[in-house]
């Protein structure tokens, strides 16, 4: 019996060694076939690239691979070490880092970066799980799944507890996780179900506050809601914070749009050529009202912003994001990008800059703001998968600090490839 057992162990070990060996041999052959993807500088300082990482997807014939591009070059998924390839395969770089640095803590955790918070002391995970789903009655029971890792002590404490009135909701999604002093705040979107008995509201945004030490729920605050829609009108909410950011934030922004039945008349010149005109909702629904609400994590208060007229007019066409106490309005015009920042605390416009683009593209550029830097990735309309520009500029001065292109050098000089940008990281 012992001999048979040992033979089984030897056979199993042999298979594992052969599998790993085959993996490395195949990876070495594959690595030699991958192209080199680099930044080709046109002007400016290459040091501006130090904080920029582009996450992209490369497609050629039957090959489809995720790839990261930075100042040092490119790394394809197949070129990663064995452990990182199999256990760090998330599309989110931060989660791949967590898998590598906090392996035990990350066991069993799924989802995107919106479920995480990190600072120098702790790493927090917060999600809403459901159980008890019944296809006949569609009754669900939602519960918070919260886990807090103390980085210094390398210890974690966790909890699972029911969401208050969970049976009233058709779905719940976590939008942001923050820590303010000794409190953990989880922002969620809750869609009401028919069984809630509420015939007025369709969706709510909640802020759930937990004691960071005990993880007991201390407060359930309804921050905002929208009414049920009909054929005449409906409302929609959009969360405006960067959901890739896991670091501390002071404010959480929500956009509320009211759509109503109507047709834009040709005589309404202020709407001609805008997204309000070309992106009408079904049944001739048009946006008649748009507001921005800001939630202050420290005071736990939600307020509607009273924006200057020139910024209100941008709400329909501009992209909006928030960083620290500044809200950025980014409005793309033909051949240029206008960036305006509004200070939440002073209620004043801080920055007004216009950046010239190298091309006019029908595709929206990838834009990232980090402190004083504006990162802009623009693809050609005619050759979106190949011709890609990179620009880095100063928001305070408007100076163009770096200009370049993403250059792909194929081993066989082939041009039959496509490179699609997924997101950009600026840490």
Which residue, among 317, 347, 338, 322, has the nearest Cα to 250 in the 3D structure? 322
124 DSSP β-pair partners: 117, 148
Whole-number pLDDT of residue 25: 44
For the chain, helix, strand, coil in percent to 5 are 20, 50, 35
Predicted TM-score (pTM) of the model is: 0.82
Q: What is the pLDDT of residue 114?
A: 95
Q: What is the pLDDT of residues 337-384, one digit of tens each?
A: 999 999 999 999 999 999 988 765 556 788 999 989 999 998 765 555
Q: What is the spatial distance between Cα 388 and Cα 359, in angstroms, rounded to a whole number?
A: 10
Average of per-residue pLDDT across 314-318 = 84
- 316: how many CB neighbours lie within 10 A of its CB? 16
At 284 the pLDDT is 75
Q: Are 210 and 218 in contact (CB under 8 A)?
A: yes
Cβ atoms 51, 390 nearer than 8 A = no
303, 345 contact by CB (below 8 A)? no
* pLDDT computed for residue 83 by the predictor: 57
Residue 339, CA distances (Å) to 369, 395, 403 in order: 11, 8, 18
Q: Where are the domains of the chain?
A: 1-33, 36-79+324-427
Q: pLDDT exceeding 90 applies to what percent of the chain?
A: 51
State yes or no: pLDDT of 52 exceeds 70.
yes
Instruction: Tell me what pLDDT residue 232 has.
Output: 82
Within 10 Å of residue 43's Cβ, how many Cβ atoms?
9
Measured from the Cβ of residue 202, the count of other Cβ atoms closer than 10 Å reads 18
Q: Is the pLDDT of residue 96 over 90?
A: no
Which is nearest to 44 in space by CA: 369, 389, 392, 370? 392
Q: Give the pLDDT mean for 297-309.
A: 94
pLDDT of amino acid 341: 96
- Rounded mean pLDDT of 152-178? 94
Query: For position 150, what pLDDT does the model report?
Result: 96
- pLDDT of residue 205 exceeding 50, the answer is yes
d(CA 24, CA 85): 11
Residue 199 · residue 230 · CB < 8 Å = no
- Which token pair is 183? 């409190």
For 342, the 3-state DSSP assignment is strand
Per-residue pLDDT at 134: 54
With 60 as the cut, is the pLDDT of residue 426 above it?
Answer: yes
Please give the Cα distance from 364 to 54 (Å, whole number): 16
Q: Is the pLDDT of residue 24 over 60?
A: no
Query: What tens digit of pLDDT does each residue of 393-406 get?
Result: 999 999 999 999 99
Q: What would the two tokens of residue 9 be?
A: 């162990």
What are the pLDDT digits (tens) for 247-278? 999 999 999 988 888 754 444 444 444 444 44
CA distances from 173 to 160, 202, 303 (A): 16, 15, 22
Please report which helix (H) or strand (E) contains residue 5, including its range: helix 2-33
Residue 271 vs residue 326, higher pLDDT: 326
Copy the structure tokens of residue 295.
């939630």
Average pLDDT over residues 301-330: 91
The C-alpha atoms of residue 247 and residue 371 are separated, in whole angstroms, by 13
Return the pLDDT at 233.
86
The mean pLDDT of the chain is 83
Choose from 6-20, 60-74, 153-167 the range with maximum mean pLDDT: 153-167
Q: Is the pLDDT of residue 215 over 90?
A: yes
CA atoms within 13 A on the CB side of 25: 6
Token output for 410: 């194929």
Cβ atoms of 56 and 421 closer than 8 Å: yes
pLDDT band at 160 (very low <50, low <70, confident <90, very high): very high
Q: 36-50, 199-213, 383-397: which range is least confident on average?
A: 383-397
Backbone dihedral region for residue 218 (phi beyond 0: left; psi -120 to 50: alpha; all else: beta):
alpha
| Mean pLDDT computed over 42-59 | 93
Coil, strand, or helix at residue 82? Answer: helix
Phi-psi region of 56 (alpha: psi -120 to 50; beta: other; left: phi over 0): beta
């Amino acid at each position: 019996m012992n001999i048979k057992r040992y033979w089984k162990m030897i056979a199993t070990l042999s298979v594992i060694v052969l599998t790993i060996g085959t993996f490395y041999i195949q990876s070495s052959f594959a690595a030699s076939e991958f192209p080199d993807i680099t930044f080709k500088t046109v002007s400016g300082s290459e040091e501006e690239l130090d904080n920029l990482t582009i996450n992209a997807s490369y497609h050629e014939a039957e090959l489809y691979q995720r790839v990261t591009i930075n100042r040092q070059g490119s790394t394809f998924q197949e070129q990663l070490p064995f452990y990182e390839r199999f256990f760090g395969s998330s599309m989110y770089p931060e989660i791949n880092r967590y898998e590598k640095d906090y392996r035990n803590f990350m066991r069993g955790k799924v989802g995107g970066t919106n479920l995480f918070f990190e600072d120098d002391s702790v790493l927090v995970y917060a999600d809403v799980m459901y159980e008890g789903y019944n296809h006949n009655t569609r009754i669900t029971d939602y519960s918070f799944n919260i886990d807090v890792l103390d980085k210094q002590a390398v210890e974690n404490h966790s909890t699972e507890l029911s969401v208050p009135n969970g049976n009233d909701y058709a779905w719940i999604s976590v939008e942001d996780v923050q820590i303010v002093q000794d409190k953990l705040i989880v922002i969620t979107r809750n869609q009401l179900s028919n069984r809630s008995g509420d015939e007025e509201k369709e969706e709510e945004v909640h802020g759930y506050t937990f004691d960071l030490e005990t993880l007991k729920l201390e407060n359930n605050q309804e921050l905002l809601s929208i009414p049920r829609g009909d054929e005449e009108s409906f409302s929609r909410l959009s969360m405006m914070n960067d959901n890739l950011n896991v670091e501390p934030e002071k404010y959480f922004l929500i956009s509320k749009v009211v759509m109503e039945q109507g047709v834009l008349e040709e005589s309404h010149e202020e709407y001609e050529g805008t997204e309000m005109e070309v992106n009408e909702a079904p049944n001739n629904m048009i946006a008649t009202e748009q507001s921005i609400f800001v939630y202050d994590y420290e005071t736990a208060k939600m307020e509607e912003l009273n924006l200057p007229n020139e910024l209100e007019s941008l709400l329909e066409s501009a992209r909006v994001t928030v960083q620290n106490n500044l809200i950025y309005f980014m409005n793309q015009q033909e051949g240029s990008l206008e960036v305006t920042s509004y200070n939440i605390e002073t209620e004043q416009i801080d920055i007004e800059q216009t950046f010239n683009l190298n091309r006019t593209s029908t595709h929206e550029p990838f834009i990232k703001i980090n402190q004083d830097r504006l990162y802009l990735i623009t693809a050609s309309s005619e050759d979106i998968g190949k011709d890609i520009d990179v620009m880095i500029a100063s928001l305070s001065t408007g100076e163009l600090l770096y200009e370049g292109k993403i250059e792909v050098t194929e081993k066989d000089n082939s041009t039959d490839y496509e490179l699609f940008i997924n997101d950009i990281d600026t840490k």
